[in-house]
Every structure is written in structure tokens, then in C-alpha cells.
Amino acid sequence: MSLHVFANIVTPSGTAANNRGETEGNTTTLQKLIWYGDSHTSVSAEAIRFALRRLLHDQETQGTNRRWSENANANVWQEPDFGAYADANHRGFIDDDLLGYMSAEAAREEAGETRGRATVRRAVLEMTRAVSLTPWPGDMVFNAASPGATPSAARGEGVNPVPYGAEVHATRYQYGLAMTPKRLRDPSRAIKALRCLATLGEVAGNQGRFLFDFSPDSIILRLTDDPAPRLLYCFTTEDDGKTVTVTDDFNNRVGKNGADVLGAELIIGGSFAATDAAKQLEKKGAKLFPHQVKAAVEEACGLINNHEDVKGK
């Protein structure tokens, strides 16, 4: 049966602000959603993918197909028509292989009919939206840009400070991922993706990026032949985000023979792995790496590399 790789990640604590270009009046807003009845802030999966692509660029000599140019302030493409994938035996670029693509052409007249075209490859590495571990309490800060700081913000002769506000959230974020290495043109790229995610830095932001460490503080990996993740958003907190634990629902799912999630499928790393809750999962077969996210990821990478879906391909 096919190998499926799932993970749920929670970040360290940080202060999120100004991670979008949208504003309400002169206030920069955070993306928000209602989660279990409370307002939580969120970071899109696309923002995480954008940050991941930067790291993927250095994983192979040919780089990525799409690369962000700070000088041009635009994406630079090596192969914008994705022609390599016309050949089923071609490895293609690592970002196209993992993250997929879609290129849509405007409708045009063909044989008396109006048709549009789309070149599509579904992402093998799928990600959830990152959701704050704690509700947003409505925190905001108010600042004033110095006179002349930006031409667009100038008022009159630009001699007065320009006030602005920003929504802020001190929290952690959690998100999940899924991929089936066998679906990749190069299955070993699943390993490269995990290693990059273990060292993910800044995510989201416009020109004034806030520094928020999006590398995992804790990670739960599941390597299984079960196509359902069964661990997404499994982290929770009982002390307003100071520490993390897992939900009762997830804990009850994990067991040995006959359980929805076999403990032996789990690799747990980071600060959570040092808790009593994690030790209960260890008794059910999980492998723990207390305070060691990278070691946990390397353990998973070794198992993936030796699986028949990846080995020798």
C-alpha cells in the first residue's frame, strides 16, 4: 500500500501583526476566522507555501521554476508554460512537483466555439491554513510614521507625523500537512520538503515584514498507509499558549491494535515531546524526541527514504 506522510505543527510564541496589505481605514488588519465560537487570527496556506518555495530553491541545482525577485518585485519564471510536465518521465522543477501549479488562458474562438484553457497539476504537498492556538483578544497598537517616511503617507507638506494602527496577536500558530511521496515525479523530494519545513523562517508579511518564527516548536508526524490524516489541528493549550498539549479527541484515537491511529506510526519532536501527555502516547508506541524537532524530522526522513515507494527511485 502507498505511504502517506502527515504532520501537525505548532510554532513558538510570537507577535503577529501587519501580515497583510489590506487595511480598514488606517488600521492594518490580520486575517481572522471563527474557530469553536471564538475569533482567531490566521495565516494562509499560500503564505506558508511562498516561504517554503524560497527554501526549496536551494535544494536542487536547477532551483525552482518560480522565484521571487526582490529587485523586480515580481516572480521570475524559468518555464512559465510548465512544458516539462508534458513528458511523464521528466522530473520537472521541485516546486512544481511538490506544490503544483495552474496556468489559465483567457477564452478564445476555436472551431466556432469559445474556449478557455488551463494547465493544472494538483499539489502533492497539501497544507492547511494556520490558525492561532489562542483566541484574538482584540489587541491593537497605534503608531505614527515620521514626517516624510513614505511619500504616499505625506499630508500637506509632509511635516506632520502620520498616525496608523495595527492589529496585533501574541500567540502560536498551528497547521497541518499531507503528502504521498509516490505521487511525486521524484519521491525523494518529500524528504527535502520536510527538512525545509523544519527550518521555516518568516511567513507572510508585506514590505514591512514582522518577524515571527514559523519553524516548529513541536511536531507530530504520522507515517502510515491510511489515507486519512486524523491529526490535523490536534494541538491545544491549557495555559493560554505557554505550553501545548494534544486534544482529548486525538489522544483517544491513538492506540495499538485496531486503533484509528497506531501509536507506532507517530514520531513526536519538540517541547511537547517532553510532557507527560507525550509520554502517554509513547506508551502506545509513539517515538519521542524531547526538545528536538530536527531529530524527529530526520527520523521520519530515514523511514521515508527506506520505504519501497521512495527507495531506489
Question: In whole angstroms, what is the distance from residue 68 CA to residue 70 CA?
Answer: 6
Q: How far is CA 310 from CA 46, 173, 181, 184, 298, in A?
A: 27, 31, 7, 10, 15
Q: Specify whether the CB–CB gap between 26 and 39 falls below 8 A.
A: no
- Of 6, 299, 301, 26, the residue nearest 175 (C-alpha): 6
How much is the pLDDT for 85? 75
Q: To which H or E segment does residue 41 belong?
A: strand 38-43
Beta bridge partner(s), residue 104: 118
How much is the pLDDT for 48? 93
Sign of CA dihedral 14, 18, 20, 25: positive
HSE-CB for 218 with a 13 A CA cutoff: 27
255: its cell numbers: 492506540
Q: What's the residue count for the chain?
A: 313
Q: Specify whether the CB–CB gap between 230 and 222 falls below 8 A.
A: yes
Q: Among all chains, which residue has been given the C-alpha cell 505511504?
A: 3
Q: Specify whether the CB–CB gap between 139 and 30 falls below 8 A.
A: no
217: its cell numbers: 516548536
Instruction: Please report the DSSP string for 16-68 in residue order.
Output: EE--SS-EETTEEPPPEEEETTEEEEEE-HHHHHHHHHHHHTTTSTT--SEEE
41: its cell numbers: 487570527
Question: In whole angstroms, what is the distance from residue 84 CA to residue 97 CA?
Answer: 11
- Sequence-ordered list of residues with C-beta below 8 angstroms from that of 213, at least 6 positions apart, any chain: 11, 12, 14, 201
What pTM did the predictor assign?
0.90
How much is the pLDDT for 23? 62
How much is the pLDDT for 312? 62
Per-residue pLDDT of the chain (313 residues; tens, 9 = 90+): 899 999 999 999 999 886 555 566 678 888 899 999 999 999 999 999 999 999 999 999 999 999 988 888 888 999 988 887 777 778 899 999 999 988 777 666 666 666 666 778 899 999 999 999 999 999 998 877 777 666 665 555 567 777 878 899 999 999 999 999 999 999 999 999 999 999 998 886 555 557 889 999 999 999 999 999 999 999 999 999 999 999 999 999 999 999 999 999 999 999 999 999 999 999 999 999 999 999 999 999 999 999 999 986 6
- The dihedrals phi and psi of 77, each to the nearest 5 degrees, come to -110, 145
- Of 7, 232, 33, the residue nearest 132 (C-alpha): 33
- Residue 274 CA, distance from chain mean position: 24
- Sequence-ordered list of residues with C-beta below 8 angstroms from that of 72, at least 6 positions apart, any chain: none
Q: To which H or E segment does residue 279 belong?
A: helix 276-283
Question: Helix, strand, coil % (nearest 5) of the chain?
Answer: 25, 35, 45
Question: In whole angstroms, what is the distance from residue 82 CA to residue 233 CA?
Answer: 34
Q: For residue 72, which amino acid is it? A: A
